[in-house]
A and B are shown apart, each in its own frame.
Chain A
Amino acid sequence: MGGDHVSELEIMVNGEPRRVPSPATAADLLHHLGLDPRTVVVELNRKIVRRLQLNDTALADGDAVELVHFVGGG
């Protein structure tokens, strides 16, 4: 416990552990990572979070988040 009382969530993002300030929504996470919600799709614990629900989707400790987008492919 630090003295600053800023609580954090520990979540997995794209397979790597990350700490984000708590409380946080999916939209907060994108903002925190500097990602544009219009070009990224969020999957939370294997379920897609619709773009309109990003603001209402709270993250919890241990959540597994995948952030994907379109890349080159055949």
Chain B
Amino acid sequence: MATALQTEPTTDSPLTIGGRAFRSRLMVGTGKYRNNGEMVRAIEASGAEIVTVAVRRVDLDRTKDQGILYHLSPEQYFLLANTAGCYTADEAVRYARLAREAGFNQFVKLEVIGDRETLLPDTEGLLAAARELVSEGFKVLAYTNDDLITALRLEDAGCAAVMPLASPIGSGLGLLNPYGIRTIKRRLSVPVIVDAGVGTASDACLTMEQGVDGILMNTALAEARDPVTMATAMRLAVEAGRQAFLAGRMPRREVAMPSTPNAGMLEVGE
């Protein structure tokens, strides 16, 4: 009788941020889509649960649409407001408070930008805003660079998650510093979500293979020729990268190693 030798596949635990559990490790933004229909279909295809939104003035002439809630149901998605476009801690805190009032949760994706060309974070302002918002009861997900020290300080400040960039916002340059991202993940206890810079599916897969907890992306979907198909690719890539990380890759070797046994080969010669 054959013994059933079953190896259970490595199972993944849900991603928990600020006490909330999520199935999907892919989070998506809602900016820059050519139209709202395409955005809704892309978000559906991505399988994302967390969807980012921004706070802006209402268009009083209302020549434009009626806000994002008209297209995305807060019952279907976990809406994560950002403070994009803020250049000081005070401004970011103001936007976060408005977002909390407009929104459905205490979560905020905190951005304090330090430079208009690169959109790299102002880490001093970021830390100041994070401390203030944490003291006001916010669950802060802090967009930061790939610097370990800043990431550690954000964790110390009480952030619910730290979000280092793969490369600058909207650049699509992919994962520029795998070592930095791995180091941040290794040293932090809170979730590490890579935010910004992913351009295509291989970038997402490679990023997840570093062991991070998730990825947030926007432009890679919105600016793809076909956002819906790219969203499917990203969903699969994030899952593939996650599974590969959990599986544990083979060692790298500088020499070849045959996959086929030498034993049992026929004798050479006449």
Residues of B near A50 (CB, < 8 A) are: 101
CB-based contact B60/A13 at 8 Å = yes
Convert A30-51 into 0s and 1s, putting 1 for each residue whose CB lies closer than 8 angstroms to a CB of B. 0001110001110100101011
Q: Do residues A71 and B60 form an inter-chain contact, with CB atoms below 8 A?
A: no
Query: Does B102 touch A at the CB level, under 8 Å?
Result: yes
CA–CA, A51 to B103, complex, Å?
12
Are B82 and A35 within 8 A (Cβ)? no
Q: Please give the distance in Å from B251's CB to the nearest CB on chain A.
A: 37
B98 CB-CB contact with A under 8 Å: yes
**A26–chain B nearest beta-carbon distance, Å:** 13
A14 at the interface (CB under 8 A from B): yes
A72 at the interface (CB under 8 A from B): yes
How many chain B residues sit at the interface, stated as a range, is 35 or more
> Are A74's CB and B60's CB within 8 A?
no
Asked if residues B103 and A70 are in contact (CB atoms below 8 Å), the reply is: yes
> Is A67 touching B32 in the complex (CB atoms < 8 A)?
no
| Contact of A74 with B102 in the complex, beta carbons under 8 Å | no
Set of chain B residues within 8 Å of A72, measured between Cβ atoms: 29-33, 39, 53-54, 68
Partner of B67, one of A46, A66, A69: A69
The answer to whether B56 and A43 have CB atoms under 8 Å apart is no
Contacts of A58 in B (CB 8 A): none
- A-side residues, CB < 8 A to B, are 13-16, 33-35, 39-41, 43, 46, 48, 50-51, 66-74
B residues contacting A by CB (< 8 A) are 29-33, 39, 52-58, 60, 62, 66-69, 79, 81-82, 84, 94, 97-99, 101-103, 169-170, 196, 216-219
A selection of 28 A-B contacts at a CB cut-off of 8 Å is: A13-B60, A14-B57, A40-B58, A40-B102, A48-B97, A51-B101, A68-B55, A68-B56, A68-B58, A68-B98, A68-B102, A69-B58, A69-B68, A69-B102, A70-B67, A70-B69, A71-B67, A72-B31, A72-B32, A72-B33, A72-B54, A73-B31, A73-B84, A74-B32, A74-B52, A74-B54, A74-B82, A74-B219
